[in-house]
């Protein structure tokens, strides 16, 4: 798995747009999936059909690498129901990397605007609402799902 630099920058920009920590590994997976499916930008996160719809192990590894390189801070918390929720936040180094990538044209304005459109439409949704929207718009990705809306 070799991620392109662009494939590394896209989740960073989603986290940046959240302003607060982006809450939920599944939420970030769905936002990046929607970006890949709706924008026509040449990226391939190699999504698979999994228990909560589309999931990319490649994206998971990208986030692990960003964390280990100090660009993203990851914090886990346990909900009252016992589920673990991961929150992502950019570090100062992550902010600097994004600024550099924008300045040098690695994250072009057109791509940033596409990420912003996806984030504006879907980023405000709760996790349940987001999963439902993904399932409504891409029902072929629900084959293995253990979470199907009523």
Summarize pLDDT for 34-80 with one digit per residue, the tens: 999 999 899 999 999 998 889 999 999 999 999 999 999 999 999 88
Predicted confidence at residue 125, as pLDDT, reads 96
- Is 120 a member of any domain? yes
Is residue 85 one of the residues assigned to a domain? yes
Q: Is residue 96 part of a domain?
A: yes
Q: What is the pLDDT at residue 150?
A: 45
Q: Can you give the CATH number for the domain in which 58 is found?
A: 1.10.10.10
Sign of CA dihedral 53, 59, 61, 66: negative
Mean pLDDT of 77-99: 93
- Indicate whether 147 belongs to any domain: no
Residue 122: which H helix or E strand, with range?
Answer: helix 109-122
Residue 13 belongs to what domain range? 5-141
Q: Which of 72-76, 125-129, 134-138, 145-149 has the lowest mean pLDDT?
A: 145-149
In a domain, 149, yes or no: no
CA gap 131, 26 in Å, rounded: 9
Give the three-state DSSP class for 69: coil
| Number of folded domains that form the chain | 1
In a domain, 34, yes or no: yes
Instruction: Classify residue 72: in a domain, yes or no.
Output: yes
In a domain, 135, yes or no: yes
Q: Indicate yes or no: pTM above 0.85.
A: yes
């Amino acid at each position: 798995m070799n991620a392109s630099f662009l494939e590394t920058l896209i989740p960073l920009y989603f986290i940046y747009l959240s302003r607060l920590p982006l809450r939920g590994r599944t939420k970030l997976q769905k936002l990046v999936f929607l970006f890949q499916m709706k924008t026509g930008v040449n990226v391939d996160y190699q999504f698979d059909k999994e228990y909560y719809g589309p999931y990319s192990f490649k994206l998971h590894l990208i986030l692990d690498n960003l964390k280990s390189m100090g660009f993203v801070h990851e914090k886990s918390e346990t909900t009252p129901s016992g589920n673990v929720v991961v929150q992502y936040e950019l570090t100062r180094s992550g902010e600097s990397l994004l600024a550099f990538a924008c300045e040098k044209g690695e994250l072009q304005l057109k791509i940033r605007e596409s990420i912003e459109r996806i984030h504006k439409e879907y980023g405000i949704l709760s996790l349940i609402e987001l999963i439902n929207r993904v399932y409504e718009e891409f029902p072929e990705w629900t084959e293995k799902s253990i979470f199907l809306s009523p």
